């Protein structure tokens, strides 16, 4: 059954994770964590998200803490390196934090940068990793995405373009113009109908994230209705959220691509000791935060209250289906 709001708030820990570089426009990642009978849950909806969207993230956290997870089919998951919008000279240092990874996702279309910056960053990555994908976070229109695709593939192939444009219609149009596969992320996790992008023939790959979709069970339910390959990715999660992403990836019937679940390397510190990436893989295992780390990374009293208020606002929006 749905846990009482008082129980959630009683054991709430809110932490601020410092980041090595700016990512998604932030240098510190705040998340709220709580423990239930099934383990730990993470509520980390980005601060700008309104309650109806953030409520999905709270549902995911409650599922993690109060429901036993589904069975898994594999005990380790291949992960991609994540290269933020850094200068080309910084790429080797970033990739060194993902030992053995043979796939890298490179952020492009960063505000304040230009296409030449993207090309330099992608080419620097290609020198060190055999498979490269890019993520534009919907930053281009169709014409800009078409030009960017030509520039970014001039010196080598791309595995796929992740969310090059913002809308489903734009993705479908771009897919008709370019030969590089198109992956949908925001068009799935931020959509009222997460399956619309696939029905529209707008994507060759579906990027699914556990928390924005409402939990592992909901993500697997959506994945079962999608007839393109699935990539499970992080929503800039702490160790707790990454553990759930790895479990989701391990439960999929088929996994053809490396997953975007190595983003803990973007943090200076985390709530649990990072797993060691071995030959580009991470193990599938539950995560229990370390008490000393929770205390050391705790936010100020006013920020904790902000998250308490947010839980109180999102909680009534949940469907009581956790029994």
What are the binding residues for Mg(2+)? 135, 162, 185
**Residue of 211, 227, 170 lying closest to 60 (CA atoms):** 211
Q: How far apart are CA 289 and CA 234, in angstroms?
A: 18
Whether 190 is a known active-site residue: answer no
Cβ neighbours of 65 (radius 10 Å): 24
| Beta strand pairing call for 76-78 and 281-283 | antiparallel
| Per-residue tokens: 291 | 């008490």
Q: How far apart are CA 252 and CA 321, in angstroms?
A: 22
Q: How big is the CA angle at 17 (ends 14 and 23), to the nearest 5 degrees?
A: 125
Are 191 and 197 a contacting pair, CB within 8 Å? yes
Q: How far apart are CA 254 and CA 232, in angstroms?
A: 12
| 120-140 burial: b if 16+ Cβ within 10 Å, else e | ebbbbbbebbebbbbbbbbbb
Question: How many Cα atoms sit within 13 Å of 229 on the Cβ side?
Answer: 14
Are 177 and 150 a contacting pair, CB within 8 Å? no
Show binding-site residues.
135, 162, 185
Whether 107 is a known active-site residue: answer yes
Q: Which residues are known catalytic residues? A: 107, 209
């Amino acid at each position: 059954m749905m846990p009482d709001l008082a129980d959630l708030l009683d054991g709430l820990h809110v932490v601020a994770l410092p980041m090595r570089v700016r990512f998604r426009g932030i240098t510190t990642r705040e998340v709220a964590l709580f423990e239930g009978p099934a383990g730990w849950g993470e509520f980390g909806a980005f601060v700008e998200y309104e309650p109806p969207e953030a409520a999905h993230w709270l549902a995911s956290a409650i599922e993690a803490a109060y429901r036993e997870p589904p069975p898994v089919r594999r005990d380790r998951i291949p992960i991609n390196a994540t290269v933020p919008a850094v200068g080309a000279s910084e790429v080797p240092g970033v990739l060194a934090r993902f030992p053995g990874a043979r796939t890298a996702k490179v952020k492009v279309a960063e505000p304040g940068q230009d296409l030449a910056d993207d090309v330099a960053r992608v080419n620097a990555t290609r020198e060190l990793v055999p498979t490269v994908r890019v993520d534009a976070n919907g930053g281009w229109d169709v014409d800009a995405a078409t030009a960017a695709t030509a520039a970014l593939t001039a010196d080598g192939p791309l595995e796929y373009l992740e969310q090059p444009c913002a809308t489903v219609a734009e993705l479908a149009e771009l897919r008709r113009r370019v030969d590089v596969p198109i992956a949908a992320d925001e068009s799935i996790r931020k959509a009222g109908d997460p399956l619309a992008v696939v029905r529209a023939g707008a994507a060759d790959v579906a990027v699914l994230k556990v928390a924005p979709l409402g939990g592992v069970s909901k993500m697997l339910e959506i994945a079962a209705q999608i007839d393109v390959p699935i990539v499970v990715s992080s929503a800039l999660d702490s160790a707790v959220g990454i553990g759930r992403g790895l479990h989701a990836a391990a439960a999929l019937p088929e996994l053809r691509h490396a997953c975007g679940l190595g983003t803990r390397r973007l943090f200076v510190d985390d709530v649990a000791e990072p797993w060691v990436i071995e030959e580009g893989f991470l193990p599938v295992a539950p995560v229990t935060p370390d008490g000393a780390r929770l205390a050391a990374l705790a936010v100020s009293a006013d920020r904790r209250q902000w998250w308490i208020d947010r839980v109180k606002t999102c909680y009534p929006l949940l469907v009581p289906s956790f029994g």
